[in-house]
């Protein structure tokens, strides 16, 4: 895969959202729960904010951004956020 295709724009606009929770478990969307905005900034800022939270709470967060190839989807789950944080550290 050429390097151009594997690049990630960590300066892309992004929004960090958090799901409401009870006892550290997401409130189900069937009950009307929706994630609320924490910050609006860059993909890098949003990743840093999630990673600064306790690991046991990462599953409550998601990042909304423009899709970038196969590596970055429009909505990033906790698992994707952690992997992007690791990848960012190598770039």
**Residue 14 near residue 41 (C-beta atoms within 8 A):** yes
User: Could you read off the pLDDT of 16-44 as tens digits, one per residue?
Assistant: 999 999 999 999 888 889 999 999 999 99
pTM for the model: 0.87
- The shares of helix, strand and coil residues in the chain, as percent rounded to the nearest 5, are 40, 30, 35
Which pLDDT score, from 0 to 100, does residue 61 have? 97
Count of the separate structural domains present in the chain: 1
Domain that holds residue 82: 3-90
């Amino acid at each position: 895969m050429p390097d151009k295709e594997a690049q990630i724009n960590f300066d892309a606009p992004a929004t960090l959202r958090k799901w409401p929770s009870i006892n550290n478990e997401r409130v189900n969307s069937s009950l009307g729960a929706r994630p609320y905005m924490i910050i609006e900034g860059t993909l890098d800022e949003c990743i840093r904010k999630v990673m600064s939270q306790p690991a046991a709470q990462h599953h409550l967060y998601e990042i909304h951004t423009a899709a970038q190839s196969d590596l970055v989807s429009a909505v990033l789950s906790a698992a994707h956020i952690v992997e992007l944080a690791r990848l960012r550290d190598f770039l």
